[in-house]
Amino acid sequence: MTNIFERLISEPLEGFLERFIQFLPNLISAILLLLIGLFAGWLTKKTSYRLLMVLKVDEFSERHGINNILLKGGVKESLSSVIGRFAGWLVFFIFVIISLSSLNVPAIERLLERFFLYLPNLFVAVIILLIGYLLSNFFGRAALIASVNAGLKASGLIGRFVKLTIFLLAATMALEQLGIGRETIIIAFAIVFGGIVLALSIAFGLGGRDMAKEYLEKKVKGEEKKDEISHI
């Protein structure tokens, strides 16, 4: 009976305890690293924020319209605060990775390895999205201004269409980079984009027939009274 108890309960418990005691220093060092990471992250956040304030980064971002971009993206904090916060979280994240690898658990190590291999894709995808967002705003506004100056009534629609198309393209590229539903996304984008073009062609062909006729008549017959103002 005693032998059975030892084999079933006592030995596994002892084994677990032994392994736990062996693992304990790793766990303690991981917790310690995590705590140090928390402090280092907080310190980095505060220091980089102060440094950026001294370097007048907020004034620079105000002048170059970066604050507006942040506001449009729903970020109400200043650029130096955003960068400070990001730097803090980055330092903390690095400590989390170090702390996890200090546990020496093969399963966690394998997960970390896979995560690190995937990280560049994530980074590239974020960059693509960011550039896509900036470009979509820029070209959307350029299209809006150009069509207003050309006197097109649908200027707002044109501006939004250009903006959305560029951002959709960037989002498709980002998702493709992440390897999420690669073929599906490309096909979906092609269908949506092709559909919009087809819809516009039909709309112009049928709906705009009279308008096109009127426009051509005006052009050919020269009915429209033109300005002869010389601006310069």
Partner 1 sequence: MNSILERKEIREKLEDIKEADILVGIPSYNNARTIGHVVRAVQAGFAKYFPDRKCVLVNSDGGSTDGTMDAVQNATIEDFQAILLHHRVRPAFKITTPYHGIPGKGSAFRTIFEIADALNVKACAVVDSDLRSITPEWIELLIKPVIEGGFDYVAPLYHRHKYDGTITNSIVYPLTRALYGKRIRQPIGGDFGFSGNLAKFYLTKDVWETDVARYGIDIWMTTTAIANNFKVCQSFLGAKIHDPKDPGTDLSAMLYQVVGATFDLMETYSSVWKNIKGSEPVITCGFQYAVGLEPVNVNVDRMIDRFRLGVKELMAIWKEFLPDSIIHFLNKAVELSKEEFYIPDETWVEIIYSFALAYYRKVVNKEHLLKSLTPLYIGRTASFVLETWESDAEEVEEKIENLCIAFENKKGWLIDKWQEV
Binding residues for partner 1, rule: CB under 8 A, are 62-65, 68, 138, 141-142, 144-146, 148-149, 151, 153, 155-156, 159, 224-232
Nearer Cβ to partner 1 (40/134) = 134
Minimum separation from the CB atom of position 216 to partner 1 (A): 18
Nearer Cβ to partner 1 (55/145) = 145
Other CB atoms closer than 10 Å to residue 41's CB: what's the count? 21
Nearer Cβ to partner 1 (110/219) = 219
Residue 26, class by beta-carbon neighbours within 10 Å (0-12 exposed, 13-18 middle, 19+ buried)?
middle
Nearer Cβ to partner 1 (15/156) = 156
The phi, psi pair for 208, rounded to 5°, reads: -95, 10
CA dihedral angle for residue 120, residue 121, residue 123, residue 128, rounded to 10 degrees:
140
CA nearest to 69, candidates 123, 119, 131, 146: 131
Is the Cβ–Cβ distance between 81 and 49 less than 8 Å? yes
Minimum separation from the CB atom of position 219 to partner 1 (A): 13
Other CB atoms closer than 10 Å to residue 81's CB: what's the count? 19
Nearer Cβ to partner 1 (23/161) = 161
- Helices 79-101, 106-149: inter-axial angle, 10-degree rounding: 160
First to last CA, the chain: 110
**Largest Cα–Cα separation, the chain:** 113
Minimum separation from the CB atom of position 146 to partner 1 (A): 7
Minimum separation from the CB atom of position 76 to partner 1 (A): 16
Minimum separation from the CB atom of position 54 to partner 1 (A): 19
Nearer Cβ to partner 1 (61/177) = 61
Minimum separation from the CB atom of position 52 to partner 1 (A): 19
H-helix or E-strand spanning residue 64 = none
